[in-house]
Chain A
Amino acid sequence: MEEKIAVVGAGSTKFRPDTSEQNWKELMFEGASKAYTDAGLNPRKDIDSFVTCAEDYWEGFSIYDEFVPDQLGAAMRPTCTVCGDGLHGLAIACMQIMSGMVDVVAVEAHSKISDLNTYNDVVLFAFDPIYNRPLAGHPYYVAGMEMNAFLNGSGNTEEQCAGVVSKNMTNALKNPLAAYGKRVGVGDVMGSEPMFSPAKKLDIAELVDGSVVLVLARAEKAKDIADNPIWITGFGWNSGTPWLEGRTWGRASYAEEAAKMAYKMAGIAEPRSEIGFAEVDDKFSYKELMHLEAVGLAGRGQAGNDLENGRFHADGDLPINASGGSLGCGNLIEASGLHRALEVVLQLRGQAEGRQLNDVERGLAQSWRGVPTASGAAAIFER
């Protein structure tokens, strides 16, 4: 990447299933205040542009963009909303800097999903109106279909998926932001209620609220602002087919392509030896294994074995979701990707407290927008 860009500020609320004492503006204000304090910046003077990630149906407002500025310190300043995951927003923020128009950009993503009473219906509303939506039912069965195809095609097993849940929920015990830290064994997951077979209750991340904010700056500014800048050296994004009927079911093609784009920008040829740790999407347990294979951090059909051999545990060769991931922290909807970026940044800064990984130099954050999408993004961070 020609233009060097760094994360100079990072902040987040805690992730909680219910935040009824705050409204969505107050939640975002809290996340933003933490990030600006961390950066030592006054958003009214020092930040040139603001990006937030939101989708009108999650929020319950038409043209939600209009309601964003006040709580981000962006009143009467350049502001835009990206209808995508937090890593899509991060990519837009980077490109604004690369364009030369701005030096310092704040990117925010949040979930106030507890305000939405009909989550399943809104997810169903994202289905193709002619071919898929009339079948109705709980839309998560699409994840069950994908899990089935992935396990069948790759040779990974349900027990290995359960191992992902056990690892991530246990990791979350060391993350003060996490909502679902718990000591859970493979047997607990396997014995949990069948939901969208082969997916069981504990294979599925529970929804949470939260707001995550990162402040990015171009190199010359970054060095003045932060004594521990974390460099963004590559990013990418991709969308697979919206046709459920036409998907390559066992593979996360969008993640393959998004990672390829990011690796190319970062000059990474051999991700397995060049990336030290990663936060990848695990809104469903099998997704972690599927995404690890897609982004080249595990061989095809090997992610499950690697997991069982301890490779992805916090003390393994390639720690994955040391934060606890979505399974341990909760599903943050569009903020999920930015949370993964936040964790990578904290790890690289050495600020991950009880879950700090040793000697990490470079990490990957990878996101997926959730059922029924085949869209996601990826970003590489370096110390």
Chain B
Amino acid sequence: MTKPENPRGVELSSKQMKEGDVIVNKWDPRVKYAWATGEAISRFLEEMKNGKLIARKCDSCDRILFPPRMFCEECFKPTTEWVYIKDTGKIETYSISYLDKDARRITDPIFVGVVSIDGASEKMGIMHYFDETTKEDIHIGMPVKAVWKPPEEREGAITDIKYFRPLKEGEE
């Protein structure tokens, strides 16, 4: 019996896949949603347009919940009050991402992380980009402040904040 020349088979190229050398089944599902944002998120997004961060207070555990929600997941009770909080905070954690969503290498890496917001309870914050800082300077615990888009460009989205930058000395 002769030994097959390449017992592990031949690797297929993406060209062969595209040209139909390999039979595949393709379908583009049409899946579109328009999620009702509900009571808490609607107000949150409206306030983003105003350049403000708003939270909800739970009377039962006294926590300030942010992003706001109509019920407290710890107490399982409705939250009771709207509370404005600041647009400053501290970096909880961050990463510097050298790849884009298609896994392509990018020259200017993205600084991304979670900020716990001043005035909200512990573990309450927002995930966002960081800028106006460097690989060397950015650190966990760094005080930061939101940089907002100009009012006319805001659309009621998390991206109404462009990024967070280091808090300057004496700034609030």
Q: Which A residues have a C-beta under 8 Å from some C-beta of B?
A: 19-26, 29, 33, 36, 42-44, 57, 60, 69-71, 73, 75, 112, 114-118, 121-122, 125, 129-130, 133
Contacts and interface: CB of A to CB of B under 8 A. Distances in A.
B135 interface: no
Interface of B: 25, 27, 29-41, 69-71, 73-76
Contacts of A25: 38, 69
Contacts, number: 76
Contact of B39 (A22, A60, A69, A115): A22
Which of the listed residues B25, B36, B69, B70 has the most CB atoms from chain A within 10 Å of its own CB? B36
Q: Is the interface of B mostly helix, strand, loop or mixed?
A: loop
Given A22-B38, A23-B38, A129-B25, A116 B33 contact: yes
B29 A125 contact: yes
A122 B31 contact: yes
B37 A23 contact: yes
A44 B31 contact: no
A121 B27 CA distance: 11
B76 A23 contact: no
Contacts of A36: 76
A289 to B, nearest CB: 33
Q: Which of B25, B30, B71 has the most CB of A within 10 A?
A: B71
Contact of B27 (A43, A57, A73, A133): A133
Contact of B75 (A44, A114, A118): A44
Contact of A43 (B25, B36, B70, B76): B76
Contacts of B30: 118, 121
B27 A129 contact: yes
A117 B38 contact: no
Contact of A23 (B35, B73, B74, B75): B35
A29 B32 contact: no
B36 A60 contact: no
A22 to B, nearest CB: 5
Contact of B69 (A70, A118, A130): A70
Contacts of B38: 21-26
B29 to A, nearest CB: 5
Contact of A21 (B33, B39, B73): B39
A115 B35 contact: yes
B75 A24 contact: no
A69 B74 CA distance: 11
Nearest to B71: A29
A42 B76 contact: yes
A41 to B, nearest CB: 10
